[in-house]
């Protein structure tokens, strides 16, 4: 934990000395699309590091519901209200927060068109719209087969379906092909649900259908949990392709045959937020995510547009903590470029992740990434990355501390 705290602080050390406030016209206008983990952090740190920059932050929702910790809503341990964050503190920092849908971005002129018809002219546009879901083939209905992978009504729906399921029922959780948002997330949700089912739905079974050939991350802890602690509840199948679905009959058609269940938590494949694809910037990972220069997060195709968070294609995991770190590197790069300074040639980012193994115990995983000039990518620093040896109640407490620190760093 000490190491993690230091590393979380390390992201903040990218800060340049604060540049004094502007009297009249701003020295630059930055328009940020998406006020989630990446967008809020960027807005905050731009204003902290150079108050001469005018920052407009746009989100379709007036407040943000955290995905992080949202699996605990399924077990009744957290409420969505507890996971809701407002933008008041950012407004107090001088950020112009706009509630609207961004309909179009012109990557050449840096003009942003809102659904209301307003057009904003920026010097730089930063896209931070999170991710979008694929639509599974067949008679798919996300009300019958909720993903609950974007916290909000979907989370409530899945919680209700689990609560209504009879004892002895079958739950299916599907894991999409990597890369997807939060690599350990589906496995930690499976562990949490297995623990909850054992107590609340005796005799219930949880079938985990993983599109990937093996655990995507933290294999030691998750395999010990799946095949040891939760062996009586979890059945784990790998390399499962969901070919099509039939929501009315609650059936999945897979490369390994048909699967029926009482509750199906279908987490579809993922891609960059739609505005990134519509702008023509999602050209990596088979047209799914946006390639960027990780020294500044500028799109490799459109230099006036930057892409941060889940939508960008980098070697780092798609995680809230990494979104926060990418935002700081991007803020630092923008402040430097608006002030005629060279970019930081060697940025470092880090990510901590806690995984719930039971309703009261967690494991953890951490990774540090450093810029590698030869490959022009962020590479994992082996001796600064690692995972806990098992899980404990103490790590569960540390998870709450880490979460509160991260959310305050992004939203307060
Ligand atoms: C169950 C679950 C558990 C997780 N646990 C962890 C964890 O423990 N640790 C961790 O680090 N990460 C975790 N994550 C991942 C984390 O939530 C994401 O990686 C993170 O939210 C990505 O940040 P982002 O800013 O890219 O996207 P988001 O936080 O999703 O923000 C995107 C914002 O853009 C807005 N938006 C999109 N398009 C438009 C548009 N056209 N106009 C206006 N607004 C728009 C959306 O409304 C949204 O507010 C978890 C995710 C899930 C689903």
Q: Which of ligand 1's atoms lies nearest the C-alpha of 189? A: 1
Distance from the alpha carbon of residue 320 to the mean position of ligand 1, in angstroms: 7
Which residue minimizes the CA distance to atom 44 of ligand 1?
59
115 lines ligand 1 (CB under 6 A): no
384 pLDDT band, cuts 50/70/90, is confident
Which residue minimizes the CA distance to atom 49 of ligand 1?
36
- How far is C-alpha 65 from the chain's CA centre? 12
The model's pLDDT over 232-284, given as tens digits with 9 standing for 90+, comes to 999 999 999 999 999 999 999 999 999 999 999 999 999 999 999 999 999 99
Which residue minimizes the CA distance to atom 29 of ligand 1?
36
- How far is C-alpha 306 from the chain's CA centre? 17
Q: Could you tell me the CA-to-CA distances from 407 to 13, 39, 109 in Å, in that order?
A: 18, 13, 33
Distance from the alpha carbon of residue 273 to the mean position of ligand 1, in angstroms: 10
The model's pLDDT over 166-223, given as tens digits with 9 standing for 90+, comes to 999 999 999 999 999 999 999 999 999 999 999 999 999 999 999 999 999 999 999 9
Please say if the pLDDT value at position 63 is more than 80. yes
The model's pLDDT over 4-26, given as tens digits with 9 standing for 90+, comes to 333 333 344 444 444 444 446 99
61 lines ligand 1 (CB under 6 A): yes
Of 307, 304, 275, residue with least CA distance to 291: 307
Q: Which of ligand 1's atoms lies nearest the C-alpha of 39? A: 25
- Supply the pLDDT for residue 10: 39
Residue-wise DSSP of 162-183:
HHHSPTT-EEEEEEPSSS-S-T
Cβ atoms of residues 241 and 211 within 8 Å: yes
- Supply the pLDDT for residue 21: 40
CA angle 256, 257, 261 (to 5 degrees): 110
Give the percent of the chain with pLDDT over 70: 94
385 pLDDT band, cuts 50/70/90, is confident
Q: Which of ligand 1's atoms lies nearest the C-alpha of 34? A: 34
Residue-wise DSSP of 231-248:
TTTEEEE-S--EEEEETT
Instruction: State the chain's mean pLDDT as an integer.
Output: 94
Cβ atoms of residues 207 and 171 within 8 Å: yes
36 lines ligand 1 (CB under 6 A): yes
Q: Which of ligand 1's atoms lies nearest the C-alpha of 36? A: 31
The model's pLDDT over 110-134, given as tens digits with 9 standing for 90+, comes to 999 999 999 999 999 999 999 999 9
71 lines ligand 1 (CB under 6 A): yes
Which residue minimizes the CA distance to atom 16 of ligand 1?
320
Which residue minimizes the CA distance to atom 6 of ligand 1?
68
Distance from the alpha carbon of residue 207 to the mean position of ligand 1, in angstroms: 26
Q: Which of ligand 1's atoms lies nearest the C-alpha of 317? A: 19
Distance from the alpha carbon of residue 67 to the mean position of ligand 1, in angstroms: 6
Report which DSSP code applies to 41.
H
Distance CA 394, CA 230 (A): 20
Of 366, 303, 292, 304, residue with least CA distance to 329: 292
Indicate the top mutation candidate among 182, 187, 193, 309 to test ligand 1's pocket, ranked by most ligand atoms within 8 A of CB. Answer: 182
183 lines ligand 1 (CB under 6 A): no
Distance from the alpha carbon of residue 253 to the mean position of ligand 1, in angstroms: 29
Indicate the top mutation candidate among 4, 11, 31, 36 to test ligand 1's pocket, ranked by most ligand atoms within 8 A of CB. Answer: 36
Domains of the chain: 2-132+270-344 (3.50.50.60), 135-266 (3.50.50.60)
Q: Write down how long the chain is.
A: 412
Q: Which of ligand 1's atoms lies nearest the C-alpha of 40? A: 25
Give the percent of the chain with pLDDT over 90: 93
- Supply the pLDDT for residue 142: 98
**Strand partners for 72:** none
- Residues 84-103 have a mean pLDDT of 98
Which residue minimizes the CA distance to atom 30 of ligand 1?
130
Is 192 strand, coil or helix? Answer: helix
């Amino acid at each position: 934990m000490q190491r993690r705290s230091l590393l979380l602080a390390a992201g903040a050390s990218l800060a340049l000395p604060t540049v004094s406030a502007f009297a009249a016209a701003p020295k630059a206008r930055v328009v940020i699309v998406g006020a989630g983990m990446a967008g809020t952090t960027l807005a905050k740190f731009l204003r902290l590091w150079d108050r001469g920059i005018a920052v407009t932050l746009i989100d379709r929702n007036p407040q943000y519901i955290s995905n992080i910790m949202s699996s605990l809503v399924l077990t009744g341990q957290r409420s969505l209200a507890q996971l809701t964050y407002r933008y008041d503190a950012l407004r107090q920092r001088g950020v112009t927060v706009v509630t609207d849908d961004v309909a179009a971005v012109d990557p050449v002129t840096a003009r942003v068109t809102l659904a209301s018809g307003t057009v904003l002219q920026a010097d730089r546009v930063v896209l931070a719209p999170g991710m979008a879901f694929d639509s599974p083939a067949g008679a798919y209905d996300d009300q019958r087969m909720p993903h609950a992978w974007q916290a909000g009504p979907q989370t409530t729906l899945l919680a209700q379906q689990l609560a209504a399921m009879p004892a002895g029922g079958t739950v299916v959780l599907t894991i999409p092909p990597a890369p997807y948002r939060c690599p350990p997330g589906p496995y930690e949700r499976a562990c949490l649900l297995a623990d909850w089912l054992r107590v609340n739905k005796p005799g219930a079974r949880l079938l985990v259908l993983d599109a990937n050939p093996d655990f995507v991350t933290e294999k030691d802890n998750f395999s010990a949990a799946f095949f040891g602690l939760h062996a009586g509840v979890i059945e784990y199948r790998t390399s499962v392709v969901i070919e099509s679905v039939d929501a009315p009959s609650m059936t999945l058609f897979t490369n390994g045959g048909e699967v029926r269940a009482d509750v199906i938590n279908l987490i579809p494949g993922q891609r960059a937020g739609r505005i990134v694809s519509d702008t023509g910037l999602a050209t990596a990972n088979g047209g799914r995510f946006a390639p960027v220069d990780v020294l500044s997060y500028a799109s490799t195709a459109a230099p006036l547009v930057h892409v941060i968070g889940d939508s960008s294609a980098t070697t780092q995991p798609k995680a809230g903590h990494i979104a926060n770190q990418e935002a700081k590197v991007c803020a630092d790069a923008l402040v430097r470029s608006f002030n005629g300074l060279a970019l930081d040639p060697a940025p470092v980012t880090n990510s901590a992740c806690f995984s719930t193994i039971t309703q009261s115990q967690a494991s953890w995983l951490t990774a540090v990434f450093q810029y590698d000039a030869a490959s022009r990518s962020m590479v994992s620093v082996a001796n600064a990355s690692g995972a806990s040896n098992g899980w404990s109640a103490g790590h569960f407490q540390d998870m709450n501390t880490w979460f509160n620190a991260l959310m305050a760093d992004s939203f307060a």
